[in-house]
Structure 1
Amino acid sequence: MTIHNAIKAAVVAAVGFGTAAQAQETVVWWDFLGGGDGARMKQLIDRFNQEHQGEITIDATTLEWGMPFYTRVQTAAAVGEAADVIMYHASRIPLAVEQGILQPLTAEDWQAMGLGQDDYAPATWDAVTVEDQQYAVPFDTHPIVLYFNKDILEAAGVLDENGLPMGMDSREGFTETLRALKEHGVRFPLGSVTADGNFMFRTIYSLMGQQDGELMTDGEFLAGDNGEKLENALSVLAEWTDEGLQSTYTDYPATVALFTSGEAAMMINGVWEVPTMTDLSAQGQLFEWGAVELPVIFDHPSTYADSHAFAIPANRGREMAPEKRAAVLEVISWMANNSLFWATAGHIPAYESVTASAEYQAMEPNATYSSLTQNMIFDPRSPLAGISGPIFDVMSTYFVPTLNGEMEPAEAVEMIRDELNAL
């Protein structure tokens, strides 16, 4: 029986008779998507509603990103008033499970969706798993990448025969590329969000991962030589700032503006900025550009990533009817199977049948950086981790002064270790 028929059968069984109008289910949906990916999600929702007319309608609301969203979900679920399905960052799932605000997904749920563990990269599947139980369906992975201005790099002689930046395989090589751009007269060879420690966590954690560093080991923060690995990561970035190779005290909008205006030749940012570049390019307002996996500064490739995932709130005192759950599972399954369009938002679809398709492999720059899914690392699985979580807050306090030349990396590491372990 298809999931569409399962929905109809559930409704008929519940009421004893039915028409198309009576069988229609409304699925209340909450997300936090703005900008280019928000616009593309709205298009996906419209397509779903058109294809399921008379059966299922998604009633979608976009809430404010970050803590406002997660606080709203927590308080609403506590009184049984959260949505039927929500978008959730995988990094926040351990805390959500501790708070009791997400329903676990059963084997029957996965079977109904036609999805399972083999459809996802191991790191992505693990990110939604707590104590061998899944609490969400991964929709994408959204790592950070290196954006680059092909015109400037070519003029400076640091674009290789494949149209990619030179020096991507070592700290020395990439630093020489930055220096060559500086000598060429580029104001900022690299644009980084150095005024926002929460954002810079992504870059710094990636550089720790390139050294096989761990933020948390058996419940202890920066145990063993992991403090040294964090110091190494901070030192590289601080040195680039000191040499004038990286933008200083730059907030998120300013970083994007530096890159799109040509004042920064390269930029480290999330794949979610791909729509910005794509749309500007289509309007004839942008140079030739590309995006690629981060340079290997230390031992091997490693990139921080998170995942947008679909979860079902545990609404206290409000049990979800079988036909409603069937409709929710159809929404999630349809989104996974149609996530090729989501890749136009820059994200890497989590469903590997999509990323293995010829259509996806022909997409640029996505296909160029999608190899990083073999090298990605997620936040530690802890209620203290995740977007806008305590770990982010503590570390960001010390990242900003360190990256901008006002604190020594070794001092920052000691302060971070002490405060994190005090949590």
Structure 2
Amino acid sequence: MTKNLRRLALASTAFLALASGAFAQQTVVWWDFLAGGDGVRMKALIDAFNAEHEGEITIEGTTLEWGTPFYTKLQTSSAIGEGPDIATYHLSRIPLAVDSGTLSEITDEDMAGAGIANTDFTTAASDAGKVDGTRYAVPFDQHGLILYYNKDMLAEAGLLGEDGLPTGLDGLDNFNAILAQFTGDGKYGISTPTGDRYRTIYSLFGQQGGTMFDEAAGGFFPTDEDLAKLTNAIEVVKGWVDSGYTPVQVESPAALALFSSGQSPFFIMGNWEVPTFVDLHAKGELFEWGAVELPVLFENKAAWSDSHAFVIPANSGKDADPDKRAAVMQVIAWMDQHSLDWAGAGHIPAYNAVRESAEFKALKPQSDYAGFADTAVFDPRTILAGPAAPLGDAWSNYINPATTGEIEPADAAAQMRDDLNGQL
């Protein structure tokens, strides 16, 4: 731990020591949806918090099933006052949670009482935690779409700089020419899992400056220009399929295997696969590899992103307990201030002091793609957005199939728009 992070941790502990005098021993009931490697890392953070705050605050953690089961249970439990004191949440689902009355506002006073402030977090994540300027979530990380690459293959092709990072990938024509260079003899220029192609398309839509949702202007893809930008983005990925740069149908495990077996120099996927490649490399089962932000194929740098965040359920009818709330806020602050360990899962800390620390900058490849935290494109602020929500269904029903030739790109874009607007 560097001096800066050590000072941060000591300051956090000292602040808590002062604050803890205001309330007796507290048990904070915690719900999350984190399984696999994420779950292991979060369990370790909870254990570390409990050990450090013995006699003051104890987190009582429970992990529930990801997706619809988690969000449904939290909503129904909060409605009858039986929800937890704190829960993890995806920022993309905040508008829906607020619309259903599931979450409690987190005020500036709540934040200040825990020694944190709005300015301590990335602007993109902080804004995504608010609805109409009111905060309902404190971001913990940003996770998003990145480009994994095979250093050996790129070095042989003269596309690797002295710093070990790819060179010359920006620009659609240029990138397509590179993909063509690696395609053939049973190999593909890029591996893009069919079920996740919508994230690439949304990223390319963002790189064109497209507006996905504007309630005042008519809803989803409010102008013909926005619809054209979505169509352009679909055609880019469909073009990779049509040109043989990527398989027509390939789901996540097979797409990962294409990359890890050396059959493709590039793999587009979320940063959550970083631990997979770290483990394979440690066992001597993977080439030298890296990960960077998505190439800029249009005008702007942009990549699909979401965030794990912390929320406080409204718990209808349950008496407010200021001491419990202060304890919950201390938990949130501590987790963010110790999120370097969480970055081991590939995520980018939303807490500026950690993301800008020497320890994080030394963490590879995470620090090589951390820039997407500042140019992230989150789901639009609508109750239809987020994991296990109608927006995800629309991507799957119209946009992913358009990349495989089942629907014409322009038709897919229009059908997605009409479907979503019909649900508003």
Shorter-chain TM-score range: over 0.9
Give 2:203's aligned amino acid: S
Q: Which residue of 1 aligns with 2:64?
A: 63
Q: Which residue of 2 aligns with 1:411?
A: 411
Give the whole-Å Cα distance in 2 for the aligned partners of 1:159 and 1:108.
49
Matched, 1:294 2:294: yes
Give the whole-Å Cα distance in 2 for the aligned partners of 1:215 and 1:65.
26
Which residue among 16, 20, 35 is the counterpart of 1:3?
Answer: 16
The superposition leaves residues 25-82 of structure 1 with CA deviations (integer Å, 9 ceiling, x where unpaired) of: 2211111112222221111111111111222221112212111211111111122221
Give 2:358's aligned amino acid: A
Q: Which residue of 2 aligns with 1:127?
A: 128
Q: Which residue of 2 aligns with 1:276?
A: 276
Distance of aligned partners of 1:160 and 1:414 in 2 relative to their CA distance in 1, 3 Å threshold? same
Would you say the 8 A contact 1:27–1:57 is kept in 2? Answer: yes
Shift of 1:365: 0.7
TM-score by length of 1: 0.92
Give 1:200's aligned amino acid: R
The superposition leaves residues 121-146 of structure 1 with CA deviations (integer Å, 9 ceiling, x where unpaired) of: 22111100112110011111111100
Q: Which residue of 1 aligns with 2:202?
A: 205
Give the whole-Å Cα distance in 2 for the aligned partners of 1:65 and 1:191.
26
Matched, 1:384 2:397: no
Q: Which residue of 1 aligns with 2:221?
A: 222
Question: RMSD over aligned Cα, in angstroms?
Answer: 1.7
The superposition leaves residues 293-332 of structure 1 with CA deviations (integer Å, 9 ceiling, x where unpaired) of: 0011111211111111100111122234222212211111
Would you say the 8 A contact 1:292–1:365 is kept in 2? Answer: yes
Give the whole-Å Cα distance in 2 for the aligned partners of 1:39 and 1:247.
34
Q: Which residue of 2 aligns with 1:40?
A: 41
Indicate the SS of the match to 2:23.
helix
Q: Which residue of 2 aligns with 1:17?
A: none
Indicate the SS of the match to 1:326.
helix
Q: Which residue of 1 aligns with 2:258?
A: 258
Shift of 1:415: 1.3
Indicate the SS of the match to 2:189.
strand
Matched, 1:164 2:165: yes
Give the whole-Å Cα distance in 2 for the aligned partners of 1:100 and 1:156.
55
Indicate the SS of the match to 2:62.
strand
TM-score by length of 2: 0.92
Would you say the 8 A contact 1:158–1:177 is kept in 2? Answer: no
Shift of 1:6: 2.8
Shift of 1:157: 4.0
Residue segments in structure 1 that go unaligned for 5+ positions in a row: 12-22
* Equivalent residues, number: 407
Indicate the SS of the match to 2:183.
helix
Give the whole-Å Cα distance in 1 for the aligned partners of 2:61 and 2:261.
35
Shift of 1:395: 2.6
Give the whole-Å Cα distance in 1 for the aligned partners of 2:261 and 2:324.
48
Give the whole-Å Cα distance in 2 for the aligned partners of 1:56 and 1:257.
44
Give the whole-Å Cα distance in 1 for the aligned partners of 2:188 and 2:60.
44
Give the whole-Å Cα distance in 1 for the aligned partners of 2:288 and 2:37.
20
Give the whole-Å Cα distance in 2 for the aligned partners of 1:34 and 1:320.
31
Q: Which residue of 1 aligns with 2:350?
A: 350
